[in-house]
Amino acid sequence: MPSIAVLPGDGIGKEVINEGLKILNFMGEKYNLNLKFEEFEVGAERYLKSGELIPDSLLKQLETFDAIYLGAVGDPRVPSGILEHGILLKLRFHFDQYVNLRPIKLLNDRFSPLKKKGVNEINFTVIRENTEGLYAGIGGILKKDTQDEVAIQEMISTRKGVERIIRYAFEYAKNLKGKLTLCDKSNVLTYSHGLWLRVFEELKKEYPEVQTDHYYVDAITMKMVRNPEIFDVIVTCNMFGDIITDLGAELQGGMGLAASGNINPNSVSMFEPVHGSAPDIAGKGIANPIAAILAAAMMLEYFGRKDLAEKIEDGITISIQENLLSQDMGGNLSTSEVGDEIVKILKRG
Ligand code: NAD
Ligand code: IPM
Ligand code: MN
């Protein structure tokens, strides 16, 4: 009886989470999943009303759930960084969700932005470190607002942190019988990514069956565009993982299609679309809900129901084949109509 804390958040976060819940409710009834949902308000409205981001009492409550299902946070009325740090990163850090799993899978050749690269070529997973690196929030500003101002943002890599994410990636690649690629910038970030490279070389010896290779982050962006078929699993640091997964989202057909899981198998994991609150289209009912629905599918897989996650993905694939699309994909369906159509397809199967 998995219990899910639902945090719709801001902007299109609320709109797309509604559709994810529509699909989860349908699957829950059809397959007797007995899913329990409880919704919590976090985000701009709460912050503007009360100054609260995530109070400790709410964190304590969230600890009692099996998973968190999050929309997105971010609002033009709130200075950049407050909601992102105070809510999203706070949750990832508090629950020590050290794995950010971001599959990059094109579902239909028509939506490939690349000539001659289709569903057989664009299918890999980025495993992004999710609790350290440039996101650790360590640094400061000296002589603020003077000509001598210095801003420092430290990149933290701990052996424990680097080893656990690279090990997770080796295990993932091993299960997939795939290749593991390390993406770093160890030619310049010799301390932080020097450690990544050393740990990668050490763990390679423990996984002789896993084929490996290594690209610097600048070169990997070239390869992702020119030869995406060479990748199965990419492991990388927090910052680079953020950047290359937006590129990956476009390879999949757009930001409206990219899902992610913030995972710690021994804590509370959190599932969310890769995209943000999209203030430019929020409130119009036109956001693509597929990323949020795929994130819901990842959550079911995490609960042990890979079979149902596959059914949802198949349903989405059919909806795309049948041109039941939102505007970002060239269609004219609203957010909720896309959700309704996917439910209709799931009812058929
Ligand atoms: P964004 O992902 O919100 O939007 C980027 C572009 O993609 C926009 O043009 C948007 O309209 C489009 N887009 C995104 N999702 C879409 C969808 N489902 N359907 C159709 N089009 C979609 O990124 P941004 O504009 O850089 O950030 C907006 C706000 O969201 C900022 O406050 C940012 O910090 C925040 N953000 C939050 C998260 C999160 O909570 N997980 C992730 C990224 C950005
Ligand atoms: C993402 C987002 C977040 C990140 C921001 C909003 C903090 O861009 O989930 O990709 O950088 O991780
Ligand atoms: Mn991002």
| Exposure string over 121-130, b if 16+ CB within 10 A, otherwise e | bbbbbbbbbb
Choice from 255, 327, 337 to test ligand 1 binding pocket (greatest atom count within 8 A of CB): 255
Predicted local distance difference test score (pLDDT) of residue 349 = 78
Q: What is the pTM of this model?
A: 0.98
Query: What is the chain's pLDDT, residue by residue, as a tens digit (349 residues)?
Result: 799 999 999 999 999 999 999 999 999 999 999 999 999 999 999 999 999 999 999 999 999 999 999 999 999 999 999 999 999 999 999 999 999 999 999 999 999 999 999 999 999 999 999 999 999 999 999 999 999 999 999 999 999 999 999 999 999 999 999 999 999 999 999 999 999 999 999 999 999 999 999 999 999 999 999 999 999 999 999 999 999 999 999 999 999 999 999 999 999 999 999 999 999 999 999 999 999 999 999 999 999 999 999 999 999 999 999 999 999 999 999 999 999 999 999 999 7
- Gap from CA of 238 to ligand 3 centroid (Å): 10
Ligand 2 binding pocket mutation candidate from 84, 250, 260 (most atoms within 8 A of CB):
84
CA torsion, points 184, 189, 191, 194, in degrees to nearest 10?
30
Q: How far is CA 303 from CA 210, 225, 274, in A?
A: 27, 33, 20
Question: Parallel, antiparallel, or unpaired for β 99-105 and 123-129?
Answer: antiparallel
Q: Which atom of ligand 2 is nearest to the CA of 92?
A: 12
Residue nearest to atom 40 of ligand 1 (CA): 72
Alpha carbon nearest to ligand 2 atom 8, residue = 242
Residue minimizing CA distance to atom 5 of ligand 2: 84
Long-range CB contact pairs, 214-220, < 8 A, 24+:
214/181, 214/182, 214/183, 214/184, 215/181, 215/182, 215/183, 216/183, 216/184, 216/185, 216/186, 216/187, 217/183, 217/184, 217/185, 217/243, 217/244, 218/185, 220/181, 220/183, 220/244
136 lines ligand 2 (CB under 6 A): no
Is residue 257 within 6 Å of ligand 1 at its C-beta? Answer: no
The domains of the chain, with CATH numbers, are 1-98+255-349 (3.40.718.10), 113-252 (3.40.718.10)
